[in-house]
Amino acid sequence: MPRRYRVVAAPAFEREVRRLRKRLPRIYESLLEAVELLETDPFNLEGRGNIRKLVDVPAGEGQFRLRIGDYRLRYDVVGDEVVLHSMRPRSTSYR
């Protein structure tokens, strides 16, 4: 049986997604699919998602990113939890 991770959202992430859900419902649907992927393979060992480990990013700031269209989902993996930090357009995601 594959390992399962628990996906949790930081408060700032929840605020961003609430705003995003109203403006872009299709991106929100893609986010739900991404959460299913992160529950089983947050390190992208199976190659199913467009996930990258970011260089020189400290823990707690989203060491991994998952591309969802023009948006970037930033997250950390801490033990058996995936902590979602931000969901922003690519132009502002890396600042």
User: What per-residue confidence (pLDDT) applies to 5?
Assistant: 96
Centre a 10 Å sphere on the Cβ of residue 33 and count the other Cβ atoms it contains.
11
| CATH of segment(s) 6-93 | 3.30.2310.20
Question: Would you say 85 and 12 are in contact if contact means Cβ atoms under 8 Å apart?
Answer: yes
Position 60 scores a pLDDT of 80
What's the whole-model pTM score? Answer: 0.89
Structural element, H or E, at residue 6: strand 6-9
Strand order in the sheet with 81-89: 6-9, 81-89, 71-78, 64-68, 51-53
Per-residue pLDDT tens over the stretch 1-25: 678 999 999 999 999 899 988 888 8
The residues near 30 (Cβ < 8 Å, ≥ 6 apart) are 68, 69
24-49 pLDDT, tens digit per residue, is 888 888 999 999 999 999 999 988 88
